Amino acid sequence: MIDRTDLRDGSVSRVRVWDSCLSKDFVYSAGGNPRQTRTARYRQFVMHKFAYWPDEFGVYGCVGCGRCITWCPVGIDITDTLNAVLKDSQDAARKVEASPVA
């Protein structure tokens, strides 16, 4: 929600605009931009939907509609990301199982 001021006639309109945590200046404030890299912004996107949101509300922050996969301008498939995370944690768990008990 932003206010657009018209310098000519002094009128102001209040408009709703698209906003996304993936845009570069989403968290920008006087101290600078805490999420400088695309990686950092993507991590926030994924973590919010699949970690912070379940912790806060008890459900995933994703309904699985697939729109982000269809329209991602650089071809990121969020299910690949989640499978990669899952595989990493399974590999780690297997490593723990395989190591002899100290």
Residue 84 contacts another protein per CB under 8 A: no
How far apart are the C-alpha atoms of 7 and 10, rounded to whole Å?
Answer: 5
Nearest to 87 by CA among 77, 98, 95: 95
Out of 9, 15, 18, 55, point to the residue binding another protein (CB under 8 A).
55
The answer to whether 39 contacts another protein (rule: CB under 8 A) is yes
Nearer to another protein, 31 or 100 (CB): 31
Bridge partner residues of 13 (DSSP):
4
Least Å from the CB of residue 44 to another protein? 7
Q: Count of CB atoms within 10 A of residue 24's CB?
A: 12
Which of 7, 8, 12, 59 binds another protein (CB under 8 A)? It is: 12
Listed in sequence order, the residues at least 6 apart from 10 whose beta carbon sits closer than 8 Å to its beta carbon are none
E-only strand ranges, 1-102? 2-5, 12-15
Q: Is 52 in the site for another protein (CB under 8 A)?
A: yes
Q: Is 85 in the site for another protein (CB under 8 A)?
A: no
Nearest approach, Cβ of residue 94 and another protein (Å)? 25
